[in-house]
Each structure stands twice: as structure tokens, then as C-alpha cells.
Chains A and B, each alone.
Chain A
Amino acid sequence: MNIGEELINYETVSLEEVNTWFKVASIEDFPENGGACAVYRGLQIAIFNFSRRNEWYATQNLCPHKQQMILARGIIGSQKNEPKVACPYHKKAFSLKSGKNLNGNECDLATYPVKVESGYVYVGFKE
């Protein structure tokens, strides 16, 4: 599979647009205050367990700066209360809420809805 194609495939999904809730793994499999990468139909999604805020987020796993499949391994945190993830490679930071690049002009991340039900984590897709 070509990395370039995947970038095109990443497209933000809003809660209303969700047609499929993909069951990823149980809560315990995720590190606390950190991320893990899931694959759904070849698409790599970074899922973040922001346990400190009791929030879950999902974004594309690909860092748009140098097209690296890496964001799930980034450090998460906040900037003036905006939750964010910093890419391990060059520390570009992205909002976990909106996907916006917070400190540069790289393109933004696609984001996906996450829900937690009876101990399992699901990510929402259009199809």
C-alpha cells in the first residue's frame, strides 16, 4: 500500500457521520495518558487514552510533516487547556480536538470520534 494514498484516505469523521463503530480493544490494553495505534481496513489510526482528563481521542497516525506513521507514540499533554499530541520526530504539536497544527504550517490531522462501551474502545468511521 502506498503511503501517499493513505494520506488522502484520512478524512475527519464527525459524530453525526458515523456509520460503523469499529471495536478496537479493551480499555486495559491502552497505556494511561498515552496512545496506541489501531489498524482499520489498512488505515492506521492513533487512539489516545487521556486518562488524566478522562477523555479519548483518535487521529490519523501519520504525521503530515515528514509523512511518518508515528503519532500514536507521541507524548500527549495540553497547551492552555487544549489537549494535544507532539510528534516524536520534530515535536510538531497537534490539537487532539480539532487536529489543528499548533506550532507550524503543516496540514492538520484528520480526527475520528471515539466511544467507550462496557470496557471496550470503539472508533467511528463513515463506512
Chain B
Amino acid sequence: MRVGSTTTLDALAMQEHASRPLVLTGARLLDPASGLDEKGDVVVQDKTIRHVGGHDDKVADALRVDCSGLCLCPGLVDMRACLCEPGFEHNETIASGSSAAVAGGVCSVLCASNTQPVIDRVELVGFIQRRSREAAYAKIYPCAALTRQALGADITDIGLLQEAGALAFGDSWRYVANSRVMRQALSYARGFDALVMQHAQETSLSADGVMNEGALATRLGLEGTPAVAESIALERDVRLLRDVGGRYHASHITTADSVAIIAEAKAQGLSITCDTAPPYFMLNEHAVGNYRTYARMNPPLRQEYDRLAIIDGLCSGVIDAIASDHCPYDRESKRLPFEQAAPGSVGLETLLSLVLHLYYDGKMTLLDALSKVTHLPASLLGLDAGALRVGACADLVLFALDESWRVDADKLVSRSSNTAFDGMMMQGRVRATFIDGRLVYRGVPLRKK
């Protein structure tokens, strides 16, 4: 029996290797879903994982790659990223956004519905899927709008959209303000067991705000969004959820109050989940400093007290997942007076390192931190991803846990460079990303999936 040949990641990058079995040897295997954390091998064949664990040298004709010194975990699953196609291709495309994804170890992306036109029809879901097949480096799944054109008035064809492949429903950065519409949407979606995602910011309180309300906003003369804008939206939705049922997910929660509200709703047994994004556990309102537009976010960065509560929420499990909140904008959209600048930060390429920050800060174990970006979001979306399991698709990330690097906005793979973390030191860096067992990223995006 031929045992196969030994090769390196760099050599692998130069060749089309999908036809041969692949054995990644000697890596520290990290699987948050099963709690696995040990040195071992992963065998990949025909796009799927064939073996996880102890040393395996029996696979015939395999390419063996020595991965010692690296960590191997399931490819990351991102619950919310703007890929801007169709409509805003000057900011990002499915090709550029997905290459940023694999550079950040993200293998599955739920792309937000805030495109132009809005993803509110079956044809648009088809468009995203087709562009994903043609141009994407990572797996792109559409999130459809909950209401037509995300206007918050009429609900979309939730059933048909779901059949076509939409994994969740939400108006991305728009709050469904009308309580009747939200009630109908939750209730209707229940018939399809569809996940309803809400940008929980009460519009009448948040519309004029450009940063967190408080002493800093007052000093800078900027209009503030009070934290209560988020609490009110969440509390209303919790009431509706209790009334009509359904599966509800609050996107990017940012305040201490929100954590408390969701904790209580979960304790009552409601089907509620939520996520947050790295800016909200890494930064507070002071990042705005002297009108730094790159720190303008929607929802805004909150107080230090809130940031700490978000970390607590992640540790206690109240917050289920961490999404990148990847929100690309060209340079011109940020080089404006603060209140005219576009809110948001790119986040795909820094996601893993910032999640690891929770581990390095001693807040969470390595596996718990990784679970927020792997099997937990995957299970919310009903995706068979985010686990190192025999039979699962071989979406894998190899990263150097100790490697430090400095974020350089100009070197990001994404078409836009509006990161809130420019110049920040990170610890832990993606070295290689595999999708369906094929190496798609090794220092640079290599090939489409």
C-alpha cells in the first residue's frame, strides 16, 4: 500500500490537490462542538472529513502536510457581513468580500440583505447563489429581507425564499419599527421555522444619533443615541415573541441592559438568541476620540461599562455568537465630517484574532471563544458547518495561536479598508484556510472554492 507523499502548505498552494486525500498532521486540533483539544491528524477525502484525532498513516496515496506548531479548527461561520453586491460594488463584491473572508479564516458567510436591490425576492437569492458559485472564495449564503425592500411595511415570501436557500430573514441595518408588522412577521415565519434577525435600535431614538449619548458626545457636540434605544426595541420584541412565538435573533447587541433583557427572556424559555461584534467587546465610545470616523458604528460604540457587560454576556452564554459585522465603505465615505461619515467597519479579516483576544485576556477558554464563531452560529443558521466531525465538510482553518501582527488597513484583502482596528496589535493569525478540503488561502487568497 502506498502511504503517500509528504508536502508543505506552500507546495500545496502551488498545486491542484483536491483529487488526492489530504492528511494534516501534528496540529493542535480544536473542536468547540465536541470539546476536542489535542494534538492529532485530520484526514480529508472527497471534500469531507474522514478522520479526526490520533495519528493516521494508513490513507493510500495521500498528501501529508506537517502542521505541527499550528492550531486547526473548523472554518469560521459569520452571521452577518455586507458583501455589497449587487449595488455597491465600489465598496465590496462577492469575490473581494469572500477573499477577505478566507483571509480571516471565515468559510461560511451569511451576507446581509442590504444590497441594491434588497434581497427580498427569490431571483435575488438566486443571484447571490450564482455569483457565489462563479466568483466566491468562501461559501456565501443569503440572508433575505424580512420586509419588502426592507421598508418595514410588507413581509417577504419567507417560505419561498427559504426554499430557494435563504438561511435567515432580517432587514439588516434597519429596525422593523412597526409593531404590527413585526408581530405578523414573527408569527408568519414561525410556520417555516425561519430565523428572524432584528437590528434592535428603536428608530425614533436612534435616527439622529451618530455616537453613544453621554458626556463625550456632549463635549464633541455630536448627537447621541441613548442606550435605551436598544433596550426598548429588544423589550418590545421579547413581548411579541412571548405573544406569537417564533425564532428571534437580535443582531449586534451592545449594551449591558440588552444582555440583561436577553438573559431574562432566555430564562423564561423563549426562543431568543443574539450576537455581538468585535467592536463592541474590544472598543468603547472613547475610540471616537477627536472625531475619528473609523470608530463610527451602527449601533454606536458604548461605554466601558457596556463593553464589560458584553464580555460577561459572551462568557455566560447569553450572547450566542460573534459576527464580523463586516461593513465595507470606500475611503471617501469616511473622510467626511463625523456626522456625515458612513457608520461601520470591515471585520472579516480581524474576526479570528479579535475572538482570540477574549482568550488572551483570560475571559474565556480557547474552545469557548472559538465556539462563538463556529458551531454556535452554524446551528442557529441550520448549517452543517463549524465542527471537526467525521462526515462533515472539510472547511478548516490553520492558525498560529501565538503569532502577533499589526493590522494595516492598506494591506487588507477587502476592497475597502475602513477598519476600526488599524494599527492595533493582534495575537493569533490565520495561516491557511481550506474549503471542502481545498486550500483556498495561504497568505494570499489562492483559488475560488
Specify whether A and B are partners. Answer: no
